[in-house]
Amino acid sequence: GQQLNQSPQSMFIQEGEDVSMNCTSSSIFNTWLWYKQDPGEGPVLLIALYKAGELTSNGRLTAQFGITRKDSFLNISASIPSDVGIYFCAGPLNYGGSQGNLIFGKGTKLSVKP
């Protein structure tokens, strides 16, 4: 079945550093979503991507929809302590079909040292 593979699983970085994480799949996705989850809370949508090749920014965050439709990356520039959390990529369970319920990757856990 469809799976999303995220890497790295975890990152320990110094405040101020840039961060890059990615998500790959063996299947084509027509939408890529990036969520952040703080401990004990629900996922919060960061960026949504709908077109292959699309590059979208949200403040210090930038995400790209891979041209093959099988991958996406998320970059965070100049990290700050509140960037700590788990970042999930997600995409519709069935390509272009039905209600397109989401499948999530296993997440990248980000830790930031002040």
Partner 1 sequence: EPEVTQTPSHQVTQMGQEVILRCVPISNHLYFYWYRQILGQKVEFLVSFYNNEISEKSEIFDDQFSVERPDGSNFTLKIRSTKLEDSAMYFCASSEAGAGGPGGELFFGEGSRLTVL
If one asks whether residue 33 binds partner 1 (CB under 8 A), the answer comes out as: yes
Q: Which is closer to partner 1, CB of 64 or CB of 108?
A: 108
If one asks whether residue 42 binds partner 1 (CB under 8 A), the answer comes out as: yes
3-state helix, strand, coil in the chain (%, to 5): 5, 50, 45
If one asks whether residue 85 binds partner 1 (CB under 8 A), the answer comes out as: no
Which among 73, 55, 63 has a CA at the least distance from the CA of 6?
A: 73
* Residue of the chain from 2, 24, 27, 30 that contacts partner 1 (CB under 8 A): 30
If one asks whether residue 61 binds partner 1 (CB under 8 A), the answer comes out as: no
Residues that bind partner 1 (CB under 8 A): 30-31, 33, 35, 37, 40-45, 48, 50, 88, 90, 92-93, 96-107
